[in-house]
Amino acid sequence: MHKIESNNVNFYYGENHALRDISLSMKENTVTALIGPSGCGKSTYLRLLNRMNDLIDGTKMTGSIVIDGADIYEKNTNVDNLRKNVGMVFQKPNPFPKTIFENVAYGLRVNGITDKNEIEERVVTTIEQVALWDEVKDKLKKSAFELSGGQQQRLCIARALAIKPSILLMDEPTSALDPISTSKIEELIYELKNKYTIVIVTHNMQQAGRVSDTTAFFYMGELIEYDKTKTIFTKPAIKQTEDYITGRFG
Amino acid sequence: MSIENNLAKKKRRSQKIAFGLFTATSYAIVALLFVILAFIVTKGIGVISWEFISAMPKNGMTEGGIFPAIVGTLCLVLASMVFAFPIGVLAAIYMNEYVKDGWPKKIIKQMTNNLAGVPSIVFGLFGMSLFVNKLEFGDSILAGGLTLGLLVLPVIIRTTEESLKAVDDTFRQASFGLGASKWETTSKIVFPIAFPNIVTGLILSVGRVSGETAPILFTVAAYFLPKLPTSIFDQAMALPYHLYVIATSGTDIEKSRAMAYGTALILIIIVLISNLLANALRKYYGKKVKMN
Amino acid sequence: MGTHSACLPDVILLKIKNTLLKTNFKQIKEKVIESILMLSSAATSITVVLIVFFLFIEGAGVFTKKPIDKGFLLAVNESNPVGKLEPSQIKDIFDQKIINWSELGGKDEPIVLFRTGDITDYYTEEELGENFVNFPDKINELIAKTPGIIAFFSDKYVNKEFKGKEVDINKISVYKFLSGEEWFPTAEPVAQMGVKPLIYGTLWVSLGAILLALPIALAAAIYLSEIAKKRTRNLLKPLIELLAGIPSVVYGFFGLVVIVPLIQSVFNLPVGETALAGSVVLAIMALPTIITISEDAMRNTPRAMKEASLALGASHWQTIYKVVIPYSASGITAGAILGIGRAIGETMAVLMVTGNAAVIPHSFLAPIRTIPATIAAELGEAPNGGLHYEALFALGCILFIITFGINMLVELVTNRNSHKKH
C-alpha cells in the first residue's frame, strides 16, 4: 500500500486552474522530489498534503488525497491531527521568536503534553536527531535567532519532528542556505528517510538527484513525468523533462 | 543644432528652478516646525520648575502650578487606554487573522475608516449625550476616558492590523503545521512577534489622547479644580483644556500667559517623547526582525 | 470498531473519553474566543451607529419645539388677526424693522412692543402693588386696551381672566435652519437659528487653508518622493509627521500669540482674529496629511513608466509633471479632500484664532465662526435638553454628514485609482 495517494487532484486559486488532474503515489520511507520551473504547481501540490492551502481564501480542490488509507479531504477529517502527522519545513528558516528549547517544545505544548520530563526528553532526542545537539546544548535557553541560517533550518526540522509525524514536507528547505549548511541538511534528509516519508520541493537538480528515490516533474500545473529519480535523470521518457533537467528551459 | 542646444538648456534651467523651489519648500516646512517648537520652548522653558509641575494653580491660575492638570491628563490617558487598547487589539486580530475576505470585513473596515474621520468635537457631543447624560456618569474621568477611547480606537486597530500583517505568513503555517489551533497560533506566535509594533501604535495613541481637547470639553474637563480626582466619577482638569482656558478666558489673560507657555511646552514634550519613543522602538525591533 | 471498543478495558475507555473531552473543550474555547474577537471588531461599527443615533435624536429636537424659552409667551390684542409668526419676523418686530401690523398681513396699526420690564412705563409701583402682585391684572388690562401691542412675558403672569391672544410661533424648519442667515441662539424673545453663516464660515476657512497648503504640500511631496536622497527623506519625513502630532490646542495657542498679531500688523487691522488666521493655522495642520498621502501616491508610480519617459529624452522634471503627477492625480486628490475634511472638523485651533463672529463672511480679513467652534464655545452654556442644546447637536449632525460625505468621496477616489492599476 502507498503511504500517500493522490487521485485526479485539481486545484484552483479563484479562476486560476493551478493543478490539473494530478495522480501521484508515494511509498513509505522514501524521498520524493518535486521539480519544475517556478509557478508549475509543485509547491501548491506539496501544501495540499497537509491542507495548508485551506488557509488561503477563494481556493477550491477536487479529487482525493489518501494518507494511510484515509481521505484527508473528507468532511470529518481532523485537520489538526492531520497536520500533526504531516510535518512541514519552509523555504526560509523561520524559527519562532522563542528560545531554542521552546521552539522544539512548542508543538508538544500545543498538542496538550504538559509533563515537564516528557517534554524535556523529547526536545533533547529530537535535537539530537537533527544533529544539532552538540552545537546548541549549552544555549537551549537562548533565542533561536542567535543560530546561523543552517542551524535555524535544522532547528525547524527538529520542531517539525518533535511531534512525531510520519510524513515530512520540505518546501525548498535549502534555497536560503550556504553550500555547507545545504549538505548538512541533505545528509539529514538521507538519515531521516529510514523513519519518515519525505516529500521535498527543490529547484536544485543536483539536490533532487542526491537525496530522492523518486522524482516528479511538474509543468504548468500538470504532472509531466513521475518515475525513479535515476530514470528521470538518465533516460526521461518525455522530451520536456529532458529539456528541463538539462537546463534548456526553466 | 543650436535650437536643440537651446531646448536642452531651457529644459535644464526649468528643472533647476523647479527643483530648487521644491527643495526650499520642504526645508521651509521643517523650518516652520522648528520655529513653532523653538518659540514655545524658549518662552516656556523659564516657567517650568518643580513648583510648576507639582503645585496647584494659584491666584486665578496666574501663578502656581499645573499639577492637577497633569494628573487629570494621566488619568484620562489611562482610562481611555484600558478601554480602547484591548478592544482595538482584539478587533484587529479578528480582522487580520480570523475573518475571511468578504462583505462583513469590508463593512467593518469601512466603519472603522468612518469612525476615524469623525471630527473630535462630534465625539465630544456624543460623549456628552451618551455617557454624561443618558448613562448619568456626569462630567467624569469615566465619561471623558470612554469618549477619548472611542476616538483612538480606529488608530489602535489600524496600527495593530499593520503590525499583524507584517508578520511573515510562514510563522503561521509552521505553527498550524504543528497542529496548533488558530488561537494558539495567534496568541503564542503571531502576537508576540507583532507586539513591539503594536506597542509603538499604543505609544502614539497615548500622545494623541493627551493632546485632544474637543472631546473632553463637555465630558470631564474642569475649568479650575484645585484638588486631585479620587475616583473615575470625579471631574478633572486636563492639560490641553487648561491651556485653552488660560490662553483665551482666564481671569487675567496677560498675567497667565507665562503659565500658558509652560503648559504648551509640557504638551509638546509629551508629544515629542511619545514620538521619539515610538520611533526608537520601531528602529530597535526593525533591526531585530531583519536579522533573520 | 464499535463492537471492539465494548471489550476494551475501562482504563482505556476513560482515556479515550478524556481526550475526546479535551478536544471538545479546546474547540469550545476556540469558538468562545472567536466570538469575543468578533464582538470587539464590531465595536467601531456600533460606535458609528450610536453616534448617528444620539446625534440625530438630540439634533432632531430643534425642529419639534417652538423657538421660545420655556415658560414664556408672546401675546397680542384679542382683535389682532395675526395669529402665527415666523421666528425671523418676531426678531424683526422686536428690532423695530417691522413697525406696522399691516406688514404682516394685519390691520394698519403701529406695533407697540412690550417686554416685562416696560411695565413701569404704564403703571406706577403703587398700582402694581407689593412684589408685583397686580402684575397679571395689569398686563391683561394693558393688552386688552392696546390694539397694536405685542407682549413678551412669563406665562406665570397669565391668569384666568386673561383676554389676550397667544401668538403661535412657527417651529424651525430644516430649510429655515439651513438657510437662515442669523445665528442668535440666545436671542430674546425668540432664538434665531440660521446656520448659513456658520456653514459659510467653515467652508471659507477650510478652503482657504487648502488653497494655502496644497501647493506647498505638493512641492514637498515631489521633493520627498522624487528628488531627495534616501537619507534626507528618512530625516525629513518623521519631522514633517511630527507636525501632525502637535495637539490642535497648541496650534491654536501658537496662532493666537504669533499669527494673529502678525496678521493684525501686516494688514493693519483692528483685530487679528480673522478667517485668514484660521486658514493659515489649518493649512499648517493639514500639511502632513496631504504630503503623506500624495507622496505615497507618487512613489507608487511604476518605475518602468518613469524610465520609459526618461529614455525618451525627457528631463527628470518633465517626467515628474508629465508622468508622475498625472499618474498619482487621484492620490493627490484624495490627500487634498482628506485635508479639507480634517480642516472642516478641526475645532480648538479655529476657535482660538478666528474671532468667532457669526456673520456671513465677506472678507478673509474679518472674523468668522465655524460649526465646530460654535459647538465648542456654546455647548457649555446651553442647558441640557433645551432648544439651544439641540440646535448644537443639529450642527453636529451637519458636521457629521459633511465629513462622512468627504470620507466616502476619498474612498471613491482611491478605489477608482486601485481599479486603474489592475
User: What confidence tens digit (pLDDT) does each residue in C243-262 have?
Assistant: 988 999 999 999 999 999 99
**Quick check: B173 and A93 CB within 8 A?**
no
Residues of B in contact with A57 (CB under 8 A): 100-101
pLDDT grade, residue B287 (50/70/90)? Answer: low
pLDDT grade, residue C421 (50/70/90)? Answer: very low
User: Would you say residue C422 has pLDDT above 50?
Assistant: no
| pLDDT for residue C5 | 46
| Residues in CB range of C21: below 8 A, 6 or more apart | none
CA-based nearest residue in chain B for residue C393: B125
The rounded distance, in Å, linking the Cα atoms of A9 and C294 is 47
Per residue in C359-393, pLDDT (tens digit) is 888 888 999 999 999 999 999 888 888 889 999 99
Instruction: Name the average pLDDT for chain C.
Output: 86
Lowest mean pLDDT among B91-105, B201-215, C116-130: C116-130
Cross-strand pairs, A167: A86, A197
Contacts 24+ apart (CB under 8 A), C227-236: C227/B19, C227/B22, C227/B23, C228/B23, C228/B26, C236/B26, C236/B30
User: Would you say residue B31 has pLDDT above 70?
Assistant: yes
More reliable by pLDDT, C284 or B56: C284
Tell me which residues of chain A have a pLDDT lower than 50. Answer: none
Q: Are C367 and C351 in contact (CB under 8 A)?
A: no
| pLDDT for residue A147 | 92
| pLDDT for residue B291 | 40
Residues of A in contact with B177 (CB under 8 A): 50, 52, 83, 86-88, 160
Instruction: Name the average pLDDT for chain A.
Output: 90
Residues of B in contact with C216 (CB under 8 A): 25, 28-29
| pLDDT for residue A249 | 65
pLDDT grade, residue C284 (50/70/90)? Answer: very high
| pLDDT for residue C247 | 94
Per residue in C136-174, pLDDT (tens digit) is 888 888 888 888 888 888 888 887 777 788 888 888 888
CA dist list (Å): A153 to A84, A130, A142, A146, C419: 19, 10, 16, 12, 41
More reliable by pLDDT, A250 or C209: C209
| pLDDT for residue A250 | 52
| pLDDT for residue C307 | 84
**Per-domain residue ranges of chain C:** 2-62, 72-170, 196-421
Nearest to B208 by CA among C281, C245, C338, C254: C245
Is A209 domain-assigned? Answer: yes
Among positive and negative, which fits the CA dihedral C171, C173, C174, C179? negative
Nearest to A53 by CA among A79, A77, A28, A32: A79
pLDDT grade, residue B145 (50/70/90)? Answer: very high
The predicted model gives C199-227 an average pLDDT of 94
More reliable by pLDDT, C188 or C257: C257
Subunit partners of chain B (3 or more CB pairs within 8 A):
A, C
**Quick check: B179 and A92 CB within 8 A?**
no
User: Would you say residue C283 has pLDDT above 50?
Assistant: yes
Q: Is B129 on the interface with A (CB under 8 A)?
A: no
What are residue A233's phi and psi, to 5 degrees? -85, -20
The predicted model gives B94-117 an average pLDDT of 90
Q: Is B181 on the interface with A (CB under 8 A)?
A: yes
Shortest Cα distance, chain B CAs vs residue C83, angstroms: 36
Q: Is B272 on the interface with C (CB under 8 A)?
A: yes
Residues of A in contact with B176 (CB under 8 A): 52, 55, 83
At the top level of CATH, the class of C196-421 is: mainly alpha
Is A139 domain-assigned? Answer: no
Helix (H) or strand (E) holding B66: none
Would you say how long chain A is, in residues?
250
Is A9 domain-assigned? Answer: yes
Q: Read off the C-alpha cell for B167.
A: 508578520
The predicted model gives B146-164 an average pLDDT of 94
Is A110 domain-assigned? Answer: no
Instruction: Name the average pLDDT for chain B.
Output: 89
Exposed/middle/buried for residue C386 (C-beta within 10 Å: 0-12, 13-18, 19+): middle
Q: What is the ipTM of this complex?
A: 0.91
The rounded distance, in Å, linking the Cα atoms of B180 and B174 is 9
What are residue C154's phi and psi, to 5 degrees? -75, 145
Shortest Cα distance, chain A CAs vs residue B180, angstroms: 5
The rounded distance, in Å, linking the Cα atoms of B57 and B259 is 9
Shortest Cα distance, chain A CAs vs residue B191, angstroms: 11
**Quick check: C376 and B208 CB within 8 A?**
no
**Quick check: B292 and A145 CB within 8 A?**
yes
The predicted model gives B8-12 an average pLDDT of 81
The predicted model gives C110-137 an average pLDDT of 82
Rg (CA), chain C: 33
CATH code of the domain containing A57: 3.40.50.300
Q: Are C380 and B156 in contact (CB under 8 A)?
A: no
C-alpha angle C351-C354-C358 in degrees, rounded to nearest 5: 90
Hey, what amino acid is at C75?
A
Question: Superfamily assignment of C72-170 in CATH?
Answer: Periplasmic binding protein-like II (3.40.190.10)
At the top level of CATH, the class of B50-291 is: mainly alpha
Per residue in A46-70, pLDDT (tens digit) is 999 988 888 787 888 999 999 998 8
What SS3 class is residue B148?
helix
User: Would you say residue B185 has pLDDT above 50?
Assistant: yes
What SS3 class is residue A32?
strand
Question: pLDDT > 90: what percent of chain C?
Answer: 41
Domains identified in chain A, total number: 1
HSE (side-chain half, CA atoms, 13 Å) at B116? 20
Q: Read off the C-alpha cell for C421.
A: 492599476
Q: Are C92 and C98 in contact (CB under 8 A)?
A: yes
Subunit partners of chain C (3 or more CB pairs within 8 A):
B
| pLDDT for residue C20 | 67
Residues of C in contact with B112 (CB under 8 A): 44-45
Of C36, C224, C228, the CB nearest to B90: C36
Is A180 domain-assigned? Answer: yes
Q: Are C319 and C306 in contact (CB under 8 A)?
A: yes
User: Would you say residue C1 has pLDDT above 80?
Assistant: no
pLDDT grade, residue C2 (50/70/90)? Answer: very low
| pLDDT for residue B292 | 36
Count residue pairs from B and C with Cβ separation < 8 A. 245
**Quick check: C403 and B40 CB within 8 A?**
no
Rounded to two decimals, what is the model's pTM?
0.86
